[in-house]
Amino acid sequence: MVSWAPCAGLVLALALLSAPLMAQGPGTIVGLILGRDTGERLAHSVIAIPSLDIHRFADDSGAFVLREMPSGAFVMHVRRLGYAPTDLMLTVRAGAHDTVRIELTRVAMKLAAVQVRADPTCTTPGLRAVTDSTLRAVLTQLRMNGEQYRLLAERYPFVYAQERIVTSERKDGETRVSEVDTIVVASKPVWRYRPGHILTREGVRRRGELLFNIPTLLDFADSLFIENHCFANGGLDLIHGTELIRVDLYASAEIETPDVNGSIFLDPNTFQIRRSVLRLSRSPKLRDLVDVEVTTVFQEAMTSIPIVAQVLGVQRYDTRDKKRGIVAGYEHHQLIGFQFVGSRPGDQPIP
């Protein structure tokens, strides 16, 4: 039979049914992932055995099959948004076909009402400064959002289409639409976060269009992003009539060029990311440009798998400049199409 042992104080229920011993050869593991309290099947949980380079999603019924497994003992990581991460030791028998049942414990925490504060100076960035146990639990779920998206983008690549509308607000109150088009975006982003490199130029050096590169799900799980920001528990905030968990973040004071401050909002029941609001941490020191703020809204592509649904960027200009007729520029992206390139979560992923 398959043997297992919980790792580092984690407790889980694991029921095993073994098929009769077969001829020597690869083994097969058939698994089912459920919520411990309710018995609910946990669709699209993440299963990983790093030593075998296995990283995949369970299907929409919480089931998975691992075929052609070499015999031996392996550490398996099981993750699902809204549940405590679980690691277990899995022993695969040569030629055997075994079934494993994994029960995950739902994350429960008590959250206070929203706390309003001015942006503090971030002098001790990273998780080492986080002593609030509730905040640490929320940050674990935030990182799981990002890690899950990384798995989706790398092993189950997709493309999505966005309608883009660019408008400007003039001093006389008139709003003008300057551009409407459709852009197609691949799941793997070209830009990745580096401290203090949020603003970049596209085109000829110093003359190209200024771009605000928006940190998003992949970056929120990146240790480089985390170690260069301070985090604070914002409590529960009411956004458009929906109560969400707010996590505030502030760029390290040691970053001397513009980075990002802002807030990230999670669903208090599922801990899925719902939106982020990011603004520049420092003045860009560009003539007339006062501030840049970007709001990103997420929605589920599939159960427990969030993707970007909307992006609204706002650039505000100094209204005292008599030569400039524009007081603000807006760029709105709206998701209009989504398609997997090959495998879908629950299928065998692309190697």
CA gap 104, 107 in Å, rounded: 9
CA gap 42, 84 in Å, rounded: 13
Conformation bin of residue 196: beta by default, left when phi > 0, alpha when psi is -120 to 50: left
pLDDT in the model for residue 348: 80
Q: In terms of DSSP H, where are the helices of 156-249?
A: 217-220, 223-226
pTM confidence score: 0.86
CB 122 within 8 A of CB 228: no
CB 276 within 8 A of CB 296: yes
CA gap 347, 59 in Å, rounded: 7
Angle subtended at Cα 288 by Cα 284 and Cα 289, rounded to the nearest 5 degrees: 40
Nearest-CA neighbor of 215 among 203, 201, 199? 199
pLDDT in the model for residue 303: 86
Could you count the other beta carbons within 10 Å of the beta carbon of residue 181? Answer: 9
Could you count the other beta carbons within 10 Å of the beta carbon of residue 178? Answer: 11
CA gap 51, 33 in Å, rounded: 21
Q: In terms of DSSP H, where are the helices of the chain?
A: 133-155, 217-220, 223-226
pLDDT in the model for residue 172: 84
pLDDT in the model for residue 21: 44
CA gap 208, 294 in Å, rounded: 20
For tokens 């999505």, the residue is 160
CB 301 within 8 A of CB 338: yes
pLDDT in the model for residue 339: 93
pLDDT in the model for residue 322: 66
pLDDT in the model for residue 317: 87
Nearest-CA neighbor of 260 among 244, 240, 278, 272? 278
List of E strands, 72-116:
72-79, 86-92, 97-104
**Residue 137, SS3 per DSSP:** helix
pLDDT in the model for residue 203: 53
Domain positions in the chain: 14-104, 127-340
Mean pLDDT for back-to-back runs of 10 residues, the chain (351 residues): 37 40 76 96 96 95 95 96 94 92 92 70 92 92 93 92 95 90 88 90 58 89 95 91 94 95 95 96 82 93 90 88 81 95 85 67
CA gap 17, 19 in Å, rounded: 7
pLDDT in the model for residue 10: 37
Nearest-CA neighbor of 329 among 165, 163, 94? 165
List of E strands, the chain:
14-18, 27-35, 46-49, 54-57, 63-69, 72-79, 86-92, 97-104, 158-170, 175-186, 199-202, 209-212, 229-239, 242-251, 260-266, 273-280, 289-302, 305-317, 326-340
pLDDT in the model for residue 54: 95
CB 292 within 8 A of CB 278: no
Name the class of domain 14-104: mainly beta
